[in-house]
Amino acid sequence: MGGELMPKTSTTTPRTTSPELATLAQRFETWRAARQRGERIPADLWQAATEHARIHGLNPTAAALKLSYDNLQRRLLAGAAPQRGGRTAPTFVELPPVAFTPGGCERGTVELVHTSGARLILRLPDAGPRDLLPVVQLFLRRRA
C-alpha cells in the first residue's frame, strides 16, 4: 500500500454530440474567428442555438456552443432572438363581418392570445369597443 495511487475513473458518461450541434458549433467558431471586437452574435446564430436547445437541452447546447447559459435561457424563454435596429411595422388584418345567429356565440366575449402564450378572455356583454380598447392595448404591450 505504500504510496501507490489508484487509477482515476470517470464518474460521468461521455456526452455524444449530435451532428447538428457539431455543425452549429463550427458556425459559431467561424463567426468568432472573423468577428470584430464588441460585435454581437447574429440573430440567425441565436435562432439556431435556441432551436437546438429547445430540442436537445439548454445546458448541453450552451456548453457546446460556448454560450452563456443565462443568455441562451433568456432567449429560449422569449421564443425568438430579439431584433436589433428597430421594430417591424404592425400588420393590419381586416376581417369580414360575420353574421351572428341568436345563441350562436356568446355576446360580449373577446379572447386574446399574446405571442408569449398569455391568454386573456373578457366576458363583458354590455361593453363596447371603447370600453375594451384600453384593456386590449394594455394586454398586447410588449412584455419584458
Does the predicted TM-score (pTM) go above 0.75? Answer: no
**What's the mean pLDDT in 62-85?**
79
More confident residue, 67 or 8: 67
pLDDT at position 131 over 90: no
| Other Cβ atoms closer than 10 A to 117 | 7
Set of cell numbers at residue 60: 448541453
Per the CB < 8 A criterion, the answer to whether 115 and 107 are in contact is: no
- Residue extents of the structural domains in the chain: 19-78, 109-140
Dihedral angle of Cα 92, 143, 51, 47, to the nearest 10 degrees = 70
Residue 122 contacts residue 135 (beta carbons within 8 Å): yes
